[in-house]
Amino acid sequence: MQNMVYLDNNATTAVAPEVLEAMLPFFETQWGNPSSLHTFGSGTKRHIDEAREKVAALLGTADPSEIIFTSCGSESNNMALLGAASAIGGTPHVLTSQVEHSAVLGPCNKLEKDGCRVDRVPVDGVGYLDLNVLSEALTESNGPLLASFMWANNETGMIFPIAELAEKIHEAGGVLHTDAVQATGKLSINVQDVPVDMLSISGHKLHAPKGVGALYVRRGTRLDPLMLGGHQERARRAGTENVPYIVGLGKACELALERLEADTCREAQQRDRLESGILATCKGAVVNGVPACRLPNTTNISFEHLEGEGTLLMLDDIGVCVSTGAACESGSIEASHVLKAMNVPRSQMQGAIRFSVGRYTTEADIDYVLEQLPSIIERQRVLSPHLSD
């Protein structure tokens, strides 16, 4: 078997060597508690501040105090939705989409159970948000409004019109959170140009480790903490700071900003070459989503009448890592809620594979997949219980 070909960068990314190098001193020697009064502890605060500035820079805010460090993207999303709803008080009207990440849908379900009206705006066949339904929901809205729309979809890469959404939500007097976990490091994000009120990011999607994230909170946005107790993060997130990972996230954001143009340009070329190659050589391959409006690194391709898991496992056998569009829970294969919301035809639903290239993807990786995939798809078709035509 050749080296691993990793085309699953939307699931997680390699820790960048520069990030690991930046973190190591905080495991080895500078392990003091930032809340301590002695120099050994309090001296680590400076490194947290520097990291906060780097995250702020990537997101385009001049005010680092708008960045709260969290333990992951899921925590950022939970904190934004539950914390804002709590600060607003009562039962705000919640507006979101049908294709959000589970860490947004979960808190929305809880708010619904707690008595909030939750509207989940549908998408069309290629993943565009239905702006008519959105307008309708906004018209019907009375009382405080809390909205959460993802910047880009993790499964299809489809990008939502966040600037336009911010305008509409703000016109209606609402607060807008965006889950930018997949968008950060892949698109230019600037909270001055696109005035969202809250924005979630996750370290491990941009070459920092799993277990660190951040929530951008625009100054003046009312937000109750999710984690109560100590006064860390200006009393917005209790718990001794994870100094090594915070430093690592800072470094990862710095790298993402430096490399954004070069990385995404190369990734888009690799993704396009992969996608057009697959469409040309694999029978029954259909892209979910539209090219123009996607993350530069992602393509979600359905192989008609096939089971994605079979394709994934055959690719796994030859060292290629990808995801299915579908989430597999407790052994039962359930179709992706994203593809379901897009009303993807039944013949395409189960056969989706997400390919997501990344910083370390090589041309040889793309060559290898283009060389191997057609025969895998052919073998799958022979094994498949469905008729392929």
> Which C-beta is closer to a copy of itself: that of 4 or that of 62?
4
Query: What's the closest the beta carbon of residue 350 comes to a copy of itself, in angstroms?
Result: 14
Q: Which residues contact 50 (CB under 8 A, 6 or more apart)?
A: 247, 250
Active site residues: 328
| 245 in contact with a copy of itself (CB under 8 A) | yes
- The one among 47, 54, 67, 74 contacting a copy of itself by CB under 8 A: 74
Between strands 67-70 and 93-97, the pairing is unpaired
Identify which of 210, 155, 208 has the alpha carbon closest to the alpha carbon of residue 182: 155
Name the token pair of 273: 């070459």
| 101 in contact with a copy of itself (CB under 8 A) | yes
- Among positions 32-71, residues that touch a copy of itself (CB under 8 A) are 32-33, 35-41, 71
| DSSP per-residue codes, 2-47 | -S-EE-BTTT--PPPHHHHHHHHHHHHT----TT-SSHHHHTTHHH
Query: What's the closest the beta carbon of residue 212 comes to a copy of itself, in angstroms?
Result: 7
| 291 in contact with a copy of itself (CB under 8 A) | no
| 109 in contact with a copy of itself (CB under 8 A) | yes
Instruction: Identify whether the C-beta of residue 177 lies closer than 8 Å to the C-beta of residue 197.
Output: yes
Three-state secondary structure call for residue 146: strand
> Which C-beta is closer to a copy of itself: that of 67 or that of 105?
105
- Among positions 326-385, residues that touch a copy of itself (CB under 8 A) are 328-329
Backbone angles phi, psi at 113, to 5 degrees: -60, -35
| 4 in contact with a copy of itself (CB under 8 A) | yes
- The one among 323, 336, 356, 361 contacting a copy of itself by CB under 8 A: 323
| 77 in contact with a copy of itself (CB under 8 A) | yes
Q: The tokens 């997130």 sit on which residue? A: 237
| 154 in contact with a copy of itself (CB under 8 A) | no
What is the identity of the amino acid at 86? S
Task: Name beta bridge partners: 67.
Answer: 216
Count of residues in contact with a copy of itself, rule CB under 8 A: 69
Binding piece for a copy of itself, criterion CB under 8 A, among 120-128, 250-258, 308-316, 381-389:
308-316
Binding piece for a copy of itself, criterion CB under 8 A, among 115-123, 132-140, 224-232, 369-377:
224-232
Please give the distance of CA 307 from its chain centroid, rounded to a whole number. 25
- The one among 3, 135, 231, 364 contacting a copy of itself by CB under 8 A: 231
Round to whole Å and give the CA distance between 199 and 178: 5
| 389 in contact with a copy of itself (CB under 8 A) | no
- The one among 132, 190, 240, 375 contacting a copy of itself by CB under 8 A: 240
- The one among 315, 357, 369, 373 contacting a copy of itself by CB under 8 A: 315
| 25 in contact with a copy of itself (CB under 8 A) | no
Q: Which residues contact 304 (CB under 8 A, 6 or more apart)?
A: 284, 285, 286, 347, 348, 351, 388
> Which C-beta is closer to a copy of itself: that of 191 or that of 314?
314
Instruction: Identify whether the C-beta of residue 23 lies closer than 8 Å to the C-beta of residue 246.
Output: no
| 1 in contact with a copy of itself (CB under 8 A) | no
Angle between helices 45-59 and 243-281 (to 10 degrees): 30
- Among positions 174-213, residues that touch a copy of itself (CB under 8 A) are 202, 204, 209-212
- The one among 2, 31, 163, 258 contacting a copy of itself by CB under 8 A: 31
| 298 in contact with a copy of itself (CB under 8 A) | no
Round to whole Å and give the CA distance between 55 and 249: 8
> Which C-beta is closer to a copy of itself: that of 24 or that of 293?
24
Task: Name beta bridge partners: 333.
Answer: 328
Name the token pair of 202: 């996750």
> Containing H/E element for 147?
strand 145-148
Beta-carbon count within 10 A of 4 CB: 11
* Positions in the binding site for a copy of itself (CB under 8 A): 4, 6, 8, 11-15, 20, 23, 27-28, 31-33, 35-41, 71-75, 77-78, 101-107, 109-110, 202, 204, 209-212, 226-231, 238-245, 309, 312-313, 315-316, 321-324, 328-329
